[in-house]
Structure 1
Amino acid sequence: MRILIAALIGGIVMFVWGAVAHMALGLGNPGIHPPAHEDMVLSSLHEGLGTEPGVYILPWLGPDAMHDEAAVRAYGAKAGASPYAWVVYLPQGEDMTHMGRPLGTQWLSDTLAALVLAVLMCVPGLGFRRRLLLAGAMAVFAWLSTMVPYWNWYRFPASFTVAAGAEQLVGWLLAGMAMAWWIGRREPRAA
C-alpha cells in the first residue's frame, strides 16, 4: 500500500509541476514557433500528405532507397537545399480546446511513471538521499533515451530539448523528495 500511495503522491507532484512548468514558466514552448502563413500551410497538407494520419518527415528518404546509391545522392542534394519538417499529421483534425482526456492521460502517465520509481525506491537499504538520487537518475535516463535522440535524429530544437530535460529533472526531484519522504517515514530507524 505504501508503494501505491507513493505513486499517487509522485503522480500528483509531477502533474502539478508539469502545469507550472508549461503554463507559468514556458518550459514546454522553447523552439516552437507559429507558422508565417498558417492558412496556406494547412490548405496544402491534404494535397501534400494525403489522408493517412501519422508522422511525416520532409524531405523523405524511404528505407528501400537507402540501398540505392543514386537515390541517396539525390536525397542528399535535396535535403541540403530544402527545408526540413517533422510533422505529426491528423488529416481529420482534433479540437485541442477540450483538455479533459489529454490531462487525464498526462496524470495517468505521471502516476504510472511514479509507480515504477516507487517500486525501485522500496529496495531495502536505500535512505532518503539515495532515493532522491534514484529519482534524478531516472529523469536523466528518460531524457537521454528519448529527447536527445529526437534532437539528434529528428532535429528537435536544442532549446526545446534542454527545456524538456530541465522540466523532467526538476519535476522528478520534487516528486522524488515527496515519495522518498513517504516511503521512508514508515521504516524503522537504525539504532
Structure 2
Amino acid sequence: MRKVIAALVGATVVFIWSGLSWMVFPWHNWDIKTFKEEGKVVAEALKTQSDGHGLYMIPYCDPKTAKDPEKEKEWIAKAQQGPFAYMVVKPEGVKWDMKLALAVQFLIGLGVAFIAAILLGYCKATSLIGRAWFVTFAVTAGAVLVQLSNWNWWAFPTTATLVNIADVVIAWYLAGLFMAKIIK
C-alpha cells in the first residue's frame, strides 16, 4: 500500500513540477521555432506531400537501399546540403483536448512513479537524500537514453536536449524526496 501511495504522491509532484516547468519557465521554448510561411507554404506541402500520419524524414533514407554504398553516399550528400528534418506529420490535424492530454500525462507519470516505487523498495541507501537520488537516477537513466539518442540520431538541438534532461532530473528528485519519505 505504501508503494501505491508513494507512486500517487510522486506522480503528483512530477505533474506539478512539469506544469511549472512548461508554463512558468521559458526554457522549453528556447529551441522551438516556426516556419516563415507556416500556413501557406509549409502546412500545404505537409498536407499534400505526406502519405498520412507518421514519422517523416528529409532527406528520406530508404532502409531497403541503405546498404548500397552509392545510395548511402547520395543520402549523406543530401543530408549535408540540407535541409534535414525528422518530424511527426499528421496531415488531418489533431483534435486538441488539453484536459485529456493532462490526464494521460498524469497516468504516464503514475506508471513511472509506480516502477520507481518498486525499485525504491530494493534501495540500500538509508538517508532520505540518498534514496531521493536513487529515484532520480533510476528514472533519469531512461530519459537520458531517449534524449541523447534523439540528439545523436535526429539532430535534436543540444539546448533542448539538456533542458529536457534537467527537467527530468529536477522533477524526479523532488518526487524522490516525497517517495523516499513514504517508502522507508
**TM-score by structure 2 length?**
0.93
State how far apart, in whole Å, the 2-side matches of 1:138 and 1:88 are: 29
Question: Does the 8 Å CA contact 2:112/2:139 hold for their aligned counterparts?
Answer: no
Pair 1:147 & 2:176 matched: no
Compared with structure 1, are the counterparts of its residues 65 and 125 closer, same or farther at alpha carbon in structure 2 (3 Å cutoff)? closer
Q: Structure 1's 42 and 2: CA in aligned 2 closer, same or farther, altered over 3 A?
A: same
CA distance in structure 1 between the partners assigned to 2:98 and 2:16 by the alignment: 15
Q: How many corresponding residue pairs?
A: 182
Q: CA deviation at 1:124?
A: 6.4
Distance in 1 of aligned mates of 2:71 and 2:28: 37
Shift in Å at residue 56 of structure 1? 0.5
2:23 is equivalent to residue 29 of structure 1 = no
Greater Rg, structure 1 or structure 2? Answer: 1
Given residue 174 of structure 2, which amino acid in structure 1 is its aligned partner?
Answer: L
**Aligned CA distance change for structure 1 residues 116 and 55 (closer, same or farther; 3 Å):** same
1:36, distance to aligned residue in structure 2 (A) = 1.3
Q: Give me the TM-score of the superposition, normalised by structure 1.
A: 0.90
- Please give the secondary structure, in 1, of the residue aligned with 2:66: helix
Give 1:46 shift: 2.2
| Unaligned stretches of 5+ residues in structure 1 | 185-191
Percent identity between the aligned chains? 28
Which residues of 2 match residues 1-191 of structure 1 at below 5 A?
A: 1-39=1-39, 40-50=41-51, 52-96=52-96, 98-123=97-122, 125-127=124-126, 128-184=128-184
Look up the equivalent residue of 1:82 and give its one-letter code: G
Q: Cα RMSD over matched residues? A: 1.4
Q: SS of the counterpart of 2:176?
A: helix
Runs of 4+ off more than 6 Å: none
